[in-house]
Amino acid sequence: MEKTTLIDTDILIDAARNIPEAISFLEKVEEGNTPAISVITHMELIIGCRSKNELRSLNKFLSRIEIFELNAIISRTAVDLLVKYRLSHGLLIADALIAATAIHFDSIFVSKNQKDFRFIENLNLATYPLSPNDP
């Protein structure tokens, strides 16, 4: 069964900037997994667009990536994560929602910002760049 890999915003930004490491990562994910993002990541990427052309390019790029919407369970999980990790680790709202999405969908989660997520229990956080044995 194919596993879903939830990709954080930072890696997609690098891919848009033609950073080879990010591009090869996305290609590798597409070979064996379903690439996905949280709707929060989708919104962050929209905010980063500076023109209608960039927005069109973003929409074309995202057409090959599954977008996970928020639901009540993800919302409650994100609140629980904030209660548990906001004061001790500085967890931010967007990161809590993205992590909760990965947990809910039992996805592998990949981010360049490992320090923002490595303390979250039940989050299947993969290293970036991927090691040879990772998906």
Q: Is residue 35 within a helix (H) or strand (E), and if so which, with residue range?
A: strand 33-38
Residue with the two structure tokens 């927005």: 55
Least Cα distance to 13 among 72, 52, 62 occurs for 62
Q: Tens of pLDDT along 79-133?
A: 999 999 999 999 999 999 999 999 999 999 999 999 999 999 999 999 887 654 5
Sorted by sequence, the CB contacts under 8 Å of residue 118 that are 6+ apart come out as 125
d(C-alpha 10, C-alpha 111), whole Å: 7
| 135 touches 104 (CB < 8 A) | no
Q: Tens of pLDDT along 20-58?
A: 999 999 999 888 888 999 999 999 999 999 999 999 999
Which amino acid is residue 96, in one-letter code? A
| 4 touches 107 (CB < 8 A) | yes
Domains in the chain, ordered, with CATH? 3-126 (3.40.50.1010)
pTM > 0.85: yes or no:
yes
CB 135: neighbour CB atoms within 10 A? 15
